[in-house]
Chains A and B, each alone.
Chain A
Amino acid sequence: MICREAQTRKADKNMSGNALKDTKKLQASFVPPTPSAPDTAQEHSETANQKHIRSIADEITEKTFQNVSLCYQCGKCSAGCPVRFYMEVAPNKIVRLIQLGLYEEALNSNTPWLCAGCLTCSTRCPNSFDLAKFMDAVREVALEKGVEVGERDILNFHKAFLDQIKHHGRSYEVGLVADYKMRTLNLLQDVDSAPGMFVKGKLSVLPHNVKDKKSVKEIFEKTSIKKNQTPL
């Protein structure tokens, strides 16, 4: 697996720039490696183990029930994406990076975090690849692997929101904003709209609790993400 990954990286490098003109070189880089017979028993078991390592692409497939190779890079998703302008990498390119095994580049980009989950891409894909669902899985894998998230504020918002649900069963806006501000230290953000909301009675000072709070808390405990810090 690692070997194949290194090869793909090499192939990718060769494809860029002048190397493209050199057809001979290009063809040479695509020659599949001839598997050499393992010399010792130890080496054999290592190869066998490597075959069973689940790649990130496999993990994404398991979470979404769809194969990442369904995407053939037409780019229709990125053309219609409302937040493309704010992203470092176009959404279709994130799929390509995952297909090529370039996980670090995909998981470190801010693209998955800026995805608003509006489903425009999933609606328009000519090959029925649900890109929004794919992005959900990419973010989840990034959290499992403990990747440093570029869009900290967005992640902090989600964490603050889910904390309110965990404790009250329903969203509690005042708690949410306080929690978010503590996490981000953006203390002055939104101070202009909050007083108006209080006057209009839209923000309640006390949380709305569900009766069976325990059942909701239990959902959180049973589904909590297990960090799995294997290298990318």
Chain B
Amino acid sequence: MRFGYYPGCSQTGTAKEYDISLRKVIGKLGVSFDELDDWSCCGATSAHVTNHKLANALAMRNIALAGTQGIDNVVAPCAACYNRLVLSQYETMHHPEIKAETEELLSAKFTQDIKVMNVLELFMKIGLGKIIDNRKHELSDLNVACYYGCLLVRPAEITKFDDAEQPVSMEKIVEATGAKTVDWNYRVECCGAAHSIARRDIVIDLSKKIIDDAVDNGANVMVVACPMCHTNLDMRQRAMKRVYPGHKEFPVLYLSELIGLSLGMNEKELGIDLHYIDFKYDGNILKNTVA
């Protein structure tokens, strides 16, 4: 199985462990990526909150590249990139005036939809059976809080994937690793995302609420699928401790890292040592292949 791959800026910097672990995990599952040649930033939050034409054109430049490179499905592991690419493509394909304008601006023709997938869709497509067949560790002592964040499953009528309020796909994937999932309240709440630098106070408050609710509901680790969420929930815990002195460090992993652990890779291979909050897994090694 081959998929197009749009890494997004975070994957080359602050979220490089997400990129490293995702590539290794899909390799183990017999899948490979064709990285989009010369991809550029999707514009992220900053473009769409200030200039809708710019936001649309920046995202569509990448869709146009996929078209010319013969890639008809693209995996965007960052939830924000995923959301921008899906929304811009929807706008372009549904409003003839935007389509004409964007085509002229980029000197491109948009004739068919490029399927943009988030990382949950990717693992669902690869198949949970593949994870189960290949796993070396059953992560049964982990109680995982699956955190979707805001942009991974929204807006549901456009992303056409899972439910916007009560999604289940990440739980299914996590359970395929043998880990348990907890039922909690903040699965689709926002962490403050783009305000991470300009309004750190807001981000710390929101992230603290998310972590506290996961802990209160019995989780011992959180799993995310977005570099922004990870920055706010992992890196910001240091500042969180200053604002909330009683705060206890709580590990936050990328989904790909958790799957990697169950496939038998260690923390260093997966880049978990790059996190701010340490996480060591010393679980049971499976005696037999698990059914």
Interface residue ranges, A against B (CB under 8 Å): 63, 65, 82-83, 86, 114-120, 122-124, 130, 135-137, 139-140, 143, 151, 153-159, 161-162, 165, 169-171, 173, 177, 180, 184, 189-190, 192-193, 196-197, 200-204, 208, 210-212, 215-216, 219-220, 222-225
The reply to whether B105 and A154 form a contact with Cβ atoms under 8 Å apart is no
The reply to whether B193 and A118 form a contact with Cβ atoms under 8 Å apart is yes
- Which of B147-155, B175-183, B252-260 is the interface stretch? B147-155
The reply to whether A139 and B151 form a contact with Cβ atoms under 8 Å apart is no
Q: How far is the CB of A112 from chain B (nearest CB, A)?
A: 8
Complex Cα spacing A122 to B48, Å: 15
The reply to whether B52 and A161 form a contact with Cβ atoms under 8 Å apart is no
- Which of B22-30, B111-119, B196-204, B243-251 is the interface stretch? B196-204
The reply to whether B9 and A171 form a contact with Cβ atoms under 8 Å apart is yes
Complex Cα spacing A136 to B47, Å: 10
The reply to whether A171 and B198 form a contact with Cβ atoms under 8 Å apart is no
Complex Cα spacing A178 to B27, Å: 37
- 23 examples of A-B residue contacts, CB within 8 angstroms: A83-B190, A117-B48, A123-B154, A124-B165, A130-B155, A136-B48, A140-B52, A157-B46, A157-B197, A158-B45, A159-B46, A162-B43, A169-B41, A190-B197, A196-B276, A201-B16, A203-B13, A203-B14, A212-B38, A215-B40, A219-B57, A222-B57, A223-B57
Question: Across the interface, which residues of A come within 8 angstroms of B47, CB to CB?
Answer: 162, 165
The reply to whether B46 and A158 form a contact with Cβ atoms under 8 Å apart is yes
The 8 A CB mask of B1-45 against A (1 = contact, 0 = none) is: 000000001101110100000000000000000000011110111
Q: State the 3 A-B residue pairs at the shortest beta-carbon distance, nearest first.
A: A118-B150, A118-B190, A171-B9
Question: Across the interface, which residues of B come within 8 angstroms of A137, CB to CB?
Answer: 52
Q: How far is the CB of A197 from chain B (nearest CB, A)?
A: 7
Complex Cα spacing A86 to B192, Å: 12
Among the listed A139, A153, A202, A212, which residue makes an inter-chain contact with B14, where contact means beta carbons less than 8 Å apart? Answer: A202
Question: Across the interface, which residues of B come within 8 angstroms of A208, CB to CB?
Answer: 9, 12-13
The 8 A CB mask of B42-81 against A (1 = contact, 0 = none) is: 0111111111111001100100000000000000000000
Question: Across the interface, which residues of B come within 8 angstroms of A222, CB to CB?
Answer: 57, 105
Q: How far is the CB of B211 from chain A (nearest CB, A)?
A: 14
The 8 A CB mask of B153-183 against A (1 = contact, 0 = none) is: 0111000000011000000000000000000
Complex Cα spacing A156 to B282, Å: 45
Question: Across the interface, which residues of A come within 8 angstroms of B16, CB to CB?
Answer: 201-202
Beta-carbon nearest neighbor of B195 in chain A? A116
Question: Across the interface, which residues of B come within 8 angstroms of A82, CB to CB?
Answer: 189-190, 192, 206
Question: Across the interface, which residues of B come within 8 angstroms of A118, CB to CB?
Answer: 150-151, 154, 190, 193
Question: Across the interface, which residues of A come within 8 angstroms of B54, CB to CB?
Answer: 162, 219-220, 223-224
The reply to whether B48 and A216 form a contact with Cβ atoms under 8 Å apart is no
Complex Cα spacing A171 to B10, Å: 8
Complex Cα spacing A119 to B83, Å: 10
Complex Cα spacing A224 to B193, Å: 25
Do A173 and B14 contact each other (CB < 8 Å), given the known contacts A114-B199, A151-B198?
yes
Do A165 and B41 contact each other (CB < 8 Å), given the known contacts A82-B190, A189-B200, A219-B105?
yes
Cβ of B95 under 8 Å from chain A: yes
Q: How far is the CB of B160 from chain A (nearest CB, A)?
A: 14
Cβ of B239 under 8 Å from chain A: yes
Do A170 and B53 contact each other (CB < 8 Å), given the known contacts A114-B202, A219-B105?
no
